[in-house]
Amino acid sequence: MGCALEPRDLIVLLSLKWRKVAGRKHISEFLGIGEGSIRSTLARLSGAGLAEKHGRAGFRLTVDGSAYVETCLQSCGIRRLELYPGLVETLGCGRTCVVAEVDSFPCDKVTAMRDAVVMAGACGALFVGKGRRLLGTDLVMDLPYLSEDSLYVAACGDALYHTIHGIVAIMCFRRPCIDAGKGRLP
């Protein structure tokens, strides 16, 4: 079973996973996008049984919603997706960073992958290979939360929504090398 969600739906579900329970205003501020977009997204997700109203506190993931988020991430080759505020200094841009542990990279063209992440709204991205080596360089990332045996995509941006969208765009659509130089998102 794959993931039939739009990127915005998946990102809102991820925010509920991280925040446990949150209202529209808090999700909007957390992700850095408009409250109207959150309202319509939550209505759609509630209708699908993936999120539910939790009293006056806001919304939370349902059991089905939590399982669906994991299914979506796995179908995109994302093993884990987490916030990493300390990475801001490493990348030197934005105010929020996300790191995804991935099964593989969409292609071997680092510049095309980075450009696809940036076109999706992030301000920068890193691709870290096994042994914590930064792809396309001789640099080794000295970050304790990175395993020596895994692959990672890290992205930062001014809004968490755009940062996550950058990773989801390259991992779930896997077309940055095909679309490179065409001036469009996958």
At residue 97, φ and ψ (nearest 5 deg) are: -130, 150
pLDDT per position in the chain (186 positions), as tens?
456 778 888 889 988 988 888 888 888 888 888 888 899 999 999 999 999 888 888 899 999 999 998 988 898 889 988 887 656 555 556 677 888 999 988 887 888 888 888 888 888 888 888 887 777 777 777 776 777 888 888 888 888 888 888 888 888 766 556 554 444 433
Which DSSP helix (H) or strand (E) runs through 29? helix 24-31
55-59: list long-range contacts, CB under 8 Å, 24+ apart: 57/21, 57/22, 57/23, 58/21, 58/22, 58/23, 58/24, 58/26, 58/27, 59/16, 59/21, 59/22, 59/23, 59/24, 59/27
Integer Cα distance of 99 and 93 in angstroms: 15
Q: Classify burial at 120, counting beta carbons within 10 Å of its beta carbon; exposed 0-12, middle 13-18, buried 19 or more.
A: buried
CATH C-level class of 77-179: alpha beta
Task: Specify the CATH number for 7-73; select among 1.10.10.10, 1.20.1440.230, 3.40.190.80, 3.30.70.990.
Answer: 1.10.10.10
At residue 128, φ and ψ (nearest 5 deg) are: -110, 120
Model pLDDT, residue 127: 87
Model pLDDT, residue 174: 60
Domain 7-73 identical in fold to domain 77-179: no
Domain spans, the chain: 7-73, 77-179
Model pLDDT, residue 59: 92
